[in-house]
Amino acid sequence: MLAVLRDLERVLFDQATIFRRLDEIAARISRDYRHKELTVIAVLNGSLMFMADLLRRIPLPLKLDCLSVVSYHGKARASGEVIFKQISMPDVQGRHVLILDDILDSGNTLTALRKKLVAAGPRSINVCVLLSKNRPRAYAVEAGYVGFEIKVEFVVGYGLDYDERYRNLPCIGVLRKDLMK
- Report the interface residues with ligand IMP, using CB under 6 A: 46, 71, 101-109, 154-156, 160-161
Binds 71: which of Mg ion, ligand IMP, none (CB < 5-8 Å by kind): ligand IMP
Q: What CA–CA distance (Å, rounded) separates 110 from 43?
A: 9
Task: Please give the single-letter amino acid code of residue 40.
Answer: V
Q: Which of 7, 105, 161, 163 is catalytic?
A: 105
H helix runs in the chain, sequence order: 15-32, 48-55, 108-118
Mark the segment that binds Mg ion (CB under 5 A) among 11-19, 38-46, 117-125, 162-170.
38-46
- When asked if residue 46 is in the footprint of Mg ion (CB under 5 A), the reply is yes
Nearest-approach distance from CB 37 to Mg ion, in angstroms: 30
Comparing CA positions, the residue from 68, 73, 54 lying closest to residue 146 is 54
- Residue 105 appears among annotated catalytic residues: yes
Nearer to ligand IMP, 107 or 122 (CB): 107
d(CA 84, CA 65): 14
> Whole-angstrom distance between the N-terminal and C-terminal Cα of the chain?
26
107 binds, among ligand IMP, Mg ion, none (CB under 5 to 8 A by kind): ligand IMP
Classify 148 as helix, strand or coil. Answer: strand
- Active site positions, annotated: 105
Residues that bind Mg ion (CB under 5 A): 46
